[in-house]
Structure 1
Amino acid sequence: MWISRSILARSLLHHRHYSQSAAAAVAVAHSFEEAPVTYLEDLPRPDPKYAETILAIPRARSGKNISAKERKQGRVPAILFEQEDGQHGGNKRLISVRTNQIRKLVNHLGRSFFLSRLFDLEVAPEFGGDEVIEKIRVLPRLVHLHSGTDAPLNVTFIRAPSNALLKVDVPLVYRGEDVCPGLRKGSSLNTIRRTVKYLCPADIIPPYIDVDLSELDIGQKLTMGDLKVHPALKLLKSKDEPVCKIMGARVSDQQRRK
């Protein structure tokens, strides 16, 4: 889902009472209309290695049979949401993208990382031609994969202009296991969350968030509020929700018999 900052602020302020997360969305909408935001030096940013333009062609019709024909021709049926309130369906464009390109990106990045990265989407009348109808920056919203082969079956994209705020499930990358005090004592890591949802300005969507385990001892945990992210990102869950915990040390069978 993406929400224009000005539209978001106006719609939420029409309500006399709103949730804390809605109030935070209004605040970020106002603050980032005033000044552009950029990635910070000490936080992850997208790897330019995967800065690829996804190629697409228009698709006139939808339906099970049409989708099956597209896949047989090496294409993935896709949808591009265009309007500001695209999460409710609304205005959408039917397109098709190349199966091999989507499969490569998902395989190289990983599914969760593919869904947290912006891409340029180039729409042309046909694949291989020189004419370009439109070039759009998009965020992949959903990708469905075949359960047996992991082949992409369909993809949903949403426009991501600079003035958009987008809800993104950002992947977590756990680091520091080798020096974690609790793990060195023989305990185990309970990974509770693999992603965390944030409201992100489109220009600074993090490709992932580092989770530092290097100082955790047995029984200690990290919560969503402990994660180090850009101050422009707004957490859409409680900051007290845990993301991981160092469990108690393992007990051997011999120790149990004692």
Structure 2
Amino acid sequence: MAETTKVVARKRDRAGKGGARSSRREGLIPAVIYGDKQAPVMIAVEPKSIERDIHKEGFFNHRMQIDVDGTNYDVLPRDVQVDPVTDRPLHLDFLRIGPDSIITVQVPVHFKNEVLAPGIKRGGVLNVVLHEITVRTKPASIPEYFEVDLTGLEIGHSVHLSSLAIPEDVRVVTRDHNATVASIAAPTVVREAAQTDAGAPAAEGAAAAPAAGAAAPAAGAAAPAKK
């Protein structure tokens, strides 16, 4: 589990678009904290305390503690609206969580030891089917990531969901507990591309031959006309 990020914010006096615009003019990011059967809290976040984390992997399953005028809220990020031109955050949604909350998050999958996979050494390609795995668990039990060891995998071998080390207090949300996470695929795309390139000259030659043959009779037909 990753460390909890500390975020600094203050309460917003006004809700709605007017209050959001006012916060942005002050250099802050308008946001809201909701959930856990409590009333929403309208806040404005200090950009420096969160901007570096927004584009990191696993941002939406990363626990945060927001200090709002001296009151701390344990939260998970749930939505980020960004400016389409500057890519700067325009609004943030946070889900309030308690120690007994059960939440659904997407946990990224990491792969290691590709150099120790014989199939990859022979030109095979790592085909990732599941980049993230959806789980339900308590906030304190959210895995930072799931790790897949590729050591010894040959071309045609697969890694299945059932082979991952899932903590006891974490439940995978899936209908297929033996779903494929990744496989070592043969480089068929490369071979097909090479075959296409090799066949191109032959096709051009075949097309050129009839054209040459057609030109000969035309020349022969022109000779009697001169007589």
TM-score range, shorter chain: 0.7 to 0.9
Correspondence for 1:157: 94
- Could you list the per-position Cα deviations for residues 75-101 of structure 1 after superposition, in whole angstroms to 9, with x for gaps in the alignment? 1111111334xxxxx842211111222
1:188 is matched with which residue: 125, 134, 140? 125
Say what the alpha-carbon RMSD is for the aligned residues.
Answer: 2.3
Runs of 4+ in 1 over 6 A off after TM superposition: none
Q: How far apart in 2 are the matches of 1:72 and 1:216?
A: 55
**Do the aligned partners of residues 81 and 255 (structure 1) sit closer, same or farther apart at CA in structure 2, a change above 3 Å counting?**
same
Unaligned runs of 5+ in 2: 200-227
Correspondence for 1:42: none
Q: 1:179-258, aligned counterparts within 5 Å? A: 179-237=116-174, 238-249=176-187, 250-251=190-191, 254=194, 257=198
Instruction: Give the secondary structure class of the aligned counterpart of 1:100.
Output: helix
1:75 matches 2:28: yes
2:44 is matched with which residue: 96, 102, 126? 96
Whichever structure has more helix as a proportion of its residues is 2
Correspondence for 2:9: 56
- How many pairs were matched up? 195
Between the two structures, name the one with larger relative contact order (CA 8 Å, sep ≥ 6): 1
Q: How far apart in 1 are the matches of 2:50 and 2:111?
A: 26
Using the TM superposition, give the Cα deviation of residue 245 of structure 1 relative to its aligned residue in structure 2, in angstroms.
2.0
**Do the aligned partners of residues 58 and 180 (structure 1) sit closer, same or farther apart at CA in structure 2, a change above 3 Å counting?**
same
Q: Tell me if structure 1 keeps the 8 A contact 2:13–2:19.
A: no
Q: Tell me if structure 2 keeps the 8 A contact 1:57–1:123.
A: yes
1:66 matches 2:3: no
Correspondence for 1:115: 60
Q: Percent identity among equivalent residues?
A: 24
Correspondence for 2:223: none
2:104 is matched with which residue: 154, 167, 170? 167
Instruction: Give the secondary structure class of the aligned counterpart of 1:79.
Output: strand
Which structure: larger Rg?
2
**Do the aligned partners of residues 239 and 135 (structure 1) sit closer, same or farther apart at CA in structure 2, a change above 3 Å counting?**
same
**Do the aligned partners of residues 217 and 58 (structure 1) sit closer, same or farther apart at CA in structure 2, a change above 3 Å counting?**
same
Unaligned runs of 5+ in 1: 1-44, 85-89, 125-131
Q: How far apart in 2 are the matches of 1:212 and 1:146?
A: 38
TM-score by length of 1: 0.67
Correspondence for 2:207: none
